[in-house]
Amino acid sequence: SSGINAEWPLRPGKEPSEIGQLTEKMIGFNLVTKQTGAEGSPVSNVMVAKALNIVKETYLAIVLDRAYGGPVIIASPDGGVDIEEVAEKTPERVFKIPVDIFEGISDEAAVDLAHKLEFEGDAIPQAAREIKKLYELFIGVDATQVEVNPFGLTDENEVVCFDAKMNFDDNAQFRQKDIFEMEDTSETDPRELEAAKHDLNYIAMEGNIACLVNGAGLAMATMDIIQLHGGSPANFLDVGGSVQESQVEKAFNLLTRDPAVKAIFVNIFGGIVDCKVIATGIINACNKTGLELPLVVRLKGSNMEAARKLLGESGLDMKAYDEFDDAAGAVVKFVN
């Protein structure tokens, strides 16, 4: 369908009767913004909100910061624009305030921040209250980011969070079920959704060498070394540290269903993972699917000798290697 540009998200209407007409013009079209890229994203929902006149715009965000080991407030009196531009051009206008996660934000600290954001008069205590509420929200929903831009003032001297972005800690899904059930998965790759159901981390890519790896770091290194040898990875697939045989089978099913895949590379470093579990899962998956693709396996670490014995006695047509580089080179040769 036809595209609509980035100016469309805000469509002011003075009468409620106009809302229907405006939404009909938006739903079903592709929204093209900096975030979506040139291909755009289909509009399936429209948010209707009360229009407010903004007289002052500031920036306020609360994020988890590894360097500080906890929450950090990032604030600037210059809001309504890209904060990266502000930080580059006028870094003295951007404030970073670490927060003790056990103490939270005191009334004094919130008022001080309101002053830094250059609120005045009656707006200062309002802004301070909003800052404290935002921090309570950040903690209460297990957020990793609450970004408000603009955090501003109306012509009626009311402090308002006009626009916001929030990210949540995936590890807190078990206690934030209501929030995670709101996730829109309509544009997510079905394979990624299926993998997530089995506690597998899967991201499809554009290459032809499927990768089954444990650990995100090793997965990244595997993709890098494949490219170094002139190959192209078809996916990122991390089976994690507590993987079971059934998950390995499911992972193989995902990999073999990709028509672009010409070979499979299993690269396991068994620290937490039992290599024998991986080997048994591979054998079961290959027997069930009748795998015909070239298979290269590298298993190192816990129970690797037992795993290699299982694979050697399985009758599978596969190549086993001890060294990472040798295995990566071999799988690229199979494809080329």
> Residue 158 CB: number of other CB atoms within 10 A?
12
* Catalytic, out of 57, 147, 245, 249: 147
Instruction: Count CB neighbours of 212 within 10 A.
Output: 29
Angle at 242 between CA 206 and CA 312, to 5 degrees: 75
Q: Which residues contact 329 (CB under 8 A, 6 or more apart)?
A: 229
* 147 is an active site residue: yes
Q: Read off the tokens for 67.
A: 């360097």
| Angle between helical axes of 107-116 and 123-140 (0-180°, round to 10) | 120
Alpha helices in 63-165 (DSSP H): 83-89, 107-116, 123-140
Residues with Cβ within 8 Å of 158's Cβ and at least 6 positions away in sequence, in order, are: 52, 126
For the range 161-165, what are the long-range contacts, defined as Cβ-Cβ under 8 Å and sequence gap of 24 or more? 161/130, 161/134, 162/52, 162/54, 162/57
Catalytic residue list contains 59: yes
The residue length of the chain stands at 336
Active-site annotation holder among 57, 59, 245, 249: 59
Q: Which residues contact 279 (CB under 8 A, 6 or more apart)?
A: 299, 306, 307, 308, 310, 311
Q: Give me the active site residues, please.
A: 59, 147
